[in-house]
Each structure stands twice: as structure tokens, then as C-alpha cells.
Chain A
Amino acid sequence: QITLKESGPTLVKPTQTLTLTCTFSGFSLTTSGVSVVWIRQPPGKALEWLALIYWDDDKSYGPSLKSRLTITKDTSKNQVVLTMTNMDPVDTATYYCAHRLAANDALDIWGQGTMVTVSS
């Protein structure tokens, strides 16, 4: 059974760097084809695709936030980490991580999400 859980600060100040951790079980990020995706959703708004990391450490970033994002993995801890620099109040959102099916880009299992508020 695949599970994912996001963790990190609930409140950050403007200009600070956000670091979120996705801890997962039920699969390995060393298995060919496996990948994990980060998505966010501001309150009352739509989902936004942020970043993806593959088993082979290949990475992709959404174009609008590419300059501010870094995604990494720690296979020994079964974790994926997302960092976002220069946080702004508009970055207030629920941040989700999800397991991505290798063959078809679908996100079949999602974490519960973690709400991050950006405020001074």
C-alpha cells in the first residue's frame, strides 16, 4: 500500500525559503520508472503542478516557478524534498506530494497535503 505524507512549517515569513518534505512508503524511488510530484493549491483556487523527480534523479519544474524551486530525493529515508525561495503571501497554499504512475503521467496516490501560510 502506497502512502505519502507532507511535512514542514505552517507559517513562513515573506522572503524566507520554504522547505517541505514528502515521506513515502510502499514504493522505492530507486525503481525504474518511479517518480514523485509536488502540487499546490491556494485557498479556493486551482491545482498547480510544481515539480517532479524521477528514480534516476532527472527533474522537471513548472515554468512559472522554475527559478525558485529545487526538488531533491533521499532514497535512504524514502523522502522527497521541495524548497521554494523568496516566499510571498501569494504562495500561501496547501502543498501536496503525489506518486506518479510511470507509464501515463497519472497521479494515483496523493498525500493529505500541508497548509503553508506566508505572512509577516
Chain B
Amino acid sequence: QSALTQPASVSGSPGQSITISCTGTISDVGAYNYVSWYQQHPGKAPKLVIYEVSNRPSGVSNRFSGSKSGNTASLTISGLQAEDEADYYCSSYTSSSTSVFGGGSKLTVL
């Protein structure tokens, strides 16, 4: 299967909100509510910030939220902070019983 499609880069000023999209197909994002989002700072392992489309793991700020419509999932970060600057990846379960990641989006906090 092909990687999920994400914008290569997004940016926003402190305090603003940004949204990162993640587009798949009817065989992955559109078929299951098993979409996750990961935050990765340079040189670090990814960290889970959203699972099952819109659920936050314990300890993740409520400034992070997720949603899905059809074959596209979205991650919204509100009240942007400098520490949010990182790469973000979506992933989805697929009809092949595997998972697939997106190409990643680099978030710059201006």
C-alpha cells in the first residue's frame, strides 16, 4: 500500500491553532477508526499523541485533538507552543492487516 498523504510542512505562531491532514483510501483511513498520530522531535523516538482518531493518551496535552472525515484524518494543535515544533506522522490500520504511516509533516512554530 502507498504511504498516507500529509503536507510536508505546516507553520503557525505561538498561541495559534494549526491542522495537519492525513489522506488515505477506503482500504485504510476510510475503513477503520484506527488512526494514530505521533510526534517526533529531532533525534528522538516518536511519541504517541492521538489514537483511535481522537483519543489522547494519558499525559498528552488537551491542546492536541484529532478527527476524521471519509478518507482523511486530521490533527489539530491549539494554543501553539514552541515545544510543539516537531515532525508529526499519522498512521492507519489497513485491510491487509498491516499498518501504514504518512510521509510526515514538519511543524514550525514561528
Chain A residues with a Cβ under 8 A of chain B? 37, 39, 46-49, 52, 60-63, 96, 101, 104-108, 110-113
Q: Does B12 contact A (CB under 8 A)?
A: no
Q: Check B98–A46 contact: CB distance below 8 A.
A: no
Q: Check A108–B57 contact: CB distance below 8 A.
A: yes
Docked CA distance A39–B3 (Å): 14
Docked CA distance A104–B91 (Å): 11
Q: Which of B15-23, B46-54, B71-79 contacts A (4 or more CB under 8 A)?
A: B46-54
Q: Check A107–B48 contact: CB distance below 8 A.
A: yes
Residues of A within 8 A of B34 (CB): 104-106
Q: Mark B94-109, 1 if CB is under 8 A from A, else 0.
A: 0011111111100000
Q: Check B51–A101 contact: CB distance below 8 A.
A: yes
Partner of B104, one of A46, A63, A110: A46
For residues 23 through 78 of chain B, which have their beta carbon under 8 Å from a beta carbon of chain A? 32, 34, 36, 38, 45-48, 51-52, 55, 57
Partner of A105, one of B3, B55, B99, B104: B99
Nearest 3 CB-CB pairings of A with B: A106-B51, A105-B34, A110-B45
Q: Check A62–B98 contact: CB distance below 8 A.
A: yes
Q: Check B51–A104 contact: CB distance below 8 A.
A: yes
- Can you sample 11 A-B contacts with CB below 8 Å? A46-B101, A47-B101, A49-B98, A49-B100, A52-B98, A62-B100, A96-B46, A104-B55, A105-B51, A106-B48, A107-B91
Minimum distance in angstroms from B68 CB to a CB of chain A: 13
Q: Check A104–B98 contact: CB distance below 8 A.
A: no
Known: A63-B1, A105-B34, A107-B38. A49 touches B47 (CB 8 A): no
